[in-house]
A and B are shown apart, each in its own frame.
Chain A
Amino acid sequence: MTPLLKVENISKFYGHRIGCKDVNFDLYPGEVMGIVGESGSGKSTLLNCLAGHLDPDTGEVLFEMRDGAMRDTVTMSEPERRMLSRTDWAFVHQHARDGLRMNVSAGGNVGERLMAVGARHYGNIREEAVDWLGRVEISETRVDDRPTQFSGGMQQRLQIARNLVTGPRLVFMDEPTGGLDVSVQARLLDLLRGLVREMGLSAIIVTHDLAVVRLLADRLMVMKDSHVVETGLTDQVLDDPQHAYTQLLVSSVLQV
């Protein structure tokens, strides 16, 4: 099997400070990769480099295009990369308001990606939007409400619907459950797990919440001070952490 995403020697520097250094990994179709680490360890920098929001200083991000060819998304032209980011890629922000248009109705938010790739039939767009709202457990009656009238959890689910509507193959998630209370988190995780399995999505999830990766991720990458310190299968890393920092991380989780 060929990887969907091949990351080679990605480094990003902010002047003298290091964002992330020499990151390598392969992501296979249908696989969910978790990236954990403390605040400031370079997780978000890495994710933004992979998703094309930041320009990495070294390295390649090879993505398997629909025609099967591996293309470097770092050196690819901007129109191509933007096309990719509204078709094959999706990006779920930590704060839903970063990823949503707050003054556009829920239906319009979901429909935007469809219209961006050329959908021009109102009836079909709306049908699809209602279908996706249903899949993320938002009632059809809320389709014309603005996200400002939604709760935090609903906004986050709406953001997910908006991202998945074009059937992306790779989803980047930056702390998707951050800022939500635990019961809402649990529901969101359950929903995400269902969608990932059902659609066969590949995903890269950045989080500092070990429970999230335990539930969603197949593989785990632990970052500390801009470097990857440990990688492996999620259960393996969490049950038998090798690196001192990972041991600290695992032992810091409160047991209720």
Chain B
Amino acid sequence: MSDYNFAYLDEQTKRMIRRAILKGLAIPGYQVPFASREMPMPYGWGTGGVQVSAATLTPEDTLKVIDQGADDTTNAVSIRKFFEKTAGVDTTEETAQASVIQTRHRIPEEDLREDQILVYQVPIPEPLRFLEPSEIETRKMHSLEEYGLMHVKLYEDIAKHGAIATSYAYPVKVEGRYVMDPSPIPKFDNPKMEMAAIQLFGAGREQRIYALPPYCQVVSLDFEDFPFEASKADHPCDMCGATDSYLDEIIMDDAGNRMFVCSDTDYCASRRKAGHVGAQAAAASVALKETAA
């Protein structure tokens, strides 16, 4: 463990990142440029989030890493191992136990507390990018608060699909000022962003950090006649029966059978431990008993 400086990055780099984080917290939603380092993992694997986590972690912290809500996917496992090795911090899969949570594409179902920090991995921090390719122009649009273009994207959605079809990376306006890309979280999670925990966003390849302080106002953009809707699959979880969690759809066979399960694995597991049973889990346990008998 002593082969690495604590949490891999050198102290000067962590100071530089912390300065960017503080600036980001002072101007909620504003993208702060920072000198992103090469990390021992490819771009797109969360190099931004890892650097923010590294600058945030202290030896007393407990880290949780999730990828699409799950603790056991490749990305989550490898980042958790990375910090176990380079920082020696405790890790956990339980949301309530963690003090720092690095996430890719989800917000945990369980409400976060004021003493927790949520770190997002961001692929493309600029919400206007797909409509305006010039960085000079998008920066000017941010500084002059010219956000009409963002609604052009939503307009196109309605014209094409009859409803706002953007279902993830849904643009939000922060504290009535900056329009921000909430990283590719499902729009189901957008209302949760007004939370007690500090939220930090790191984009490694694009070299940007932005942040939301606790209880910050976050409004999803919409039209008067097409209001924002936090949508999810209209189904209870087949494992734990939860009706309020975001679900993954899993195709079971080629006969059209499918099941819906919570994308937040910790939430689902803790509910099952508490005795909640979903439809397919119940059927499976009945079948299991029959074969045993």
Set B149, B155, B160: member contacting A122, Cβ < 8 A = B155
Assess whether A126 is in contact with B159, with CB atoms less than 8 Å apart. Answer: yes
Smallest CB separation, A150 vs chain B (Å): 16
Q: Is A115 an interface residue (CB 8 A)?
A: yes
In residues 201-238 of chain A, which contact B (Cβ within 8 Å)? Answer: none
Interface string of A105-117 (1 = CB under 8 A from B): 1011001110111
Smallest CB separation, B87 vs chain A (Å): 44
Chain B residue at smallest Cβ distance from A112: B152
Complex Cα–Cα for A111 and B157 (A): 13
**Residues of B with C-beta under 8 A to A107:** 155, 159
Q: Is B215 an interface residue (CB 8 A)?
A: no
Complex Cα–Cα for A113 and B144 (A): 16
Q: Is B229 an interface residue (CB 8 A)?
A: no
Q: Is A16 an interface residue (CB 8 A)?
A: no
Q: A79-B144, A101-B131, A116-B146 are in contact. Are A121 and B225 (CB under 8 A)?
A: yes
Set A105, A115, A143, A144: member contacting B148, Cβ < 8 A = A115
Q: Is B156 an interface residue (CB 8 A)?
A: yes
Q: Is B226 an interface residue (CB 8 A)?
A: yes
Complex Cα–Cα for A121 and B227 (A): 10
**Residues of A with C-beta under 8 A to B158:** 122
Q: Is B224 an interface residue (CB 8 A)?
A: yes
Assess whether A121 is in contact with B224, with CB atoms less than 8 Å apart. Answer: yes
Complex Cα–Cα for A82 and B143 (A): 12
Assess whether B160 is in contact with A144, with CB atoms less than 8 Å apart. Answer: yes
Chain B residue at smallest Cβ distance from A109: B152
Complex Cα–Cα for A62 and B149 (A): 29
How many B residues touch A, CB cutoff 8 Å?
Answer: 16
Complex Cα–Cα for A120 and B281 (A): 46
How many A residues touch B, CB cutoff 8 Å?
Answer: 23
Complex Cα–Cα for A108 and B225 (A): 16
Q: A122-B225, A123-B225 are in contact. Are A101 and B160 (CB under 8 A)?
A: no
Q: Is A104 an interface residue (CB 8 A)?
A: yes
Complex Cα–Cα for A125 and B148 (A): 12
Assess whether A108 is in contact with B224, with CB atoms less than 8 Å apart. Answer: no
Assess whether A112 is in contact with B148, with CB atoms less than 8 Å apart. Answer: yes
In residues 214-238 of chain B, which contact A (Cβ within 8 Å)? Answer: 223-226
Interface string of B146-176 (1 = CB under 8 A from A): 1011011001101110000000000000000
Set B151, B224, B225, B226: member contacting A115, Cβ < 8 A = B151
Assess whether A115 is in contact with B146, with CB atoms less than 8 Å apart. Answer: no
Assess whether A144 is in contact with B159, with CB atoms less than 8 Å apart. Answer: yes
Assess whether B155 is in contact with A78, with CB atoms less than 8 Å apart. Answer: no
**Residues of B with C-beta under 8 A to A117:** 148
**Residues of A with C-beta under 8 A to B146:** 82, 116
Assess whether A120 is in contact with B224, with CB atoms less than 8 Å apart. Answer: yes
Chain B residue at smallest Cβ distance from A111: B155
Interface string of A122-133 (1 = CB under 8 A from B): 110110000000
Complex Cα–Cα for A104 and B149 (A): 11
Assess whether B144 is in contact with A115, with CB atoms less than 8 Å apart. Answer: no
**Residues of B with C-beta under 8 A to A104:** 131, 152, 156
Complex Cα–Cα for A108 and B159 (A): 8
Set A82, A118, A122, A126: member contacting B144, Cβ < 8 A = A82
Which of A115, A122, A125, A144 has the most CB atoms of chain B within a 10 A radius of its CB?
A: A122
**Residues of A with C-beta under 8 A to B149:** 112, 115-116
Which of B131, B148, B225 has the most CB atoms of chain A within a 10 A radius of its CB?
A: B148
Smallest CB separation, A159 vs chain B (Å): 16
**Residues of B with C-beta under 8 A to A101:** 131, 152
In residues 69-123 of chain A, which contact B (Cβ within 8 Å)? Answer: 78-79, 82, 101, 104-105, 107-108, 111-113, 115-118, 120-123
Complex Cα–Cα for A123 and B131 (A): 22
Complex Cα–Cα for A123 and B144 (A): 27
Chain A residue at smallest Cβ distance from B150: A115
Assess whether B151 is in contact with A120, with CB atoms less than 8 Å apart. Answer: yes
Complex Cα–Cα for A112 and B146 (A): 11
Smallest CB separation, A19 vs chain B (Å): 23
Smallest CB separation, B95 vs chain A (Å): 36
4 additional A-B pairs beyond A82-B144, A122-B225, beta carbons within 8 Å, are A113-B148, A115-B151, A116-B148, A118-B148
Which residues of A line the B interface, CB within 8 A? 78-79, 82, 101, 104-105, 107-108, 111-113, 115-118, 120-123, 125-126, 143-144
List 12 contacting pairs A-B, 8 Å CB cutoff, sorted by A: A101-B131, A101-B152, A105-B156, A105-B160, A108-B156, A112-B149, A112-B152, A116-B148, A118-B148, A121-B225, A122-B224, A126-B155
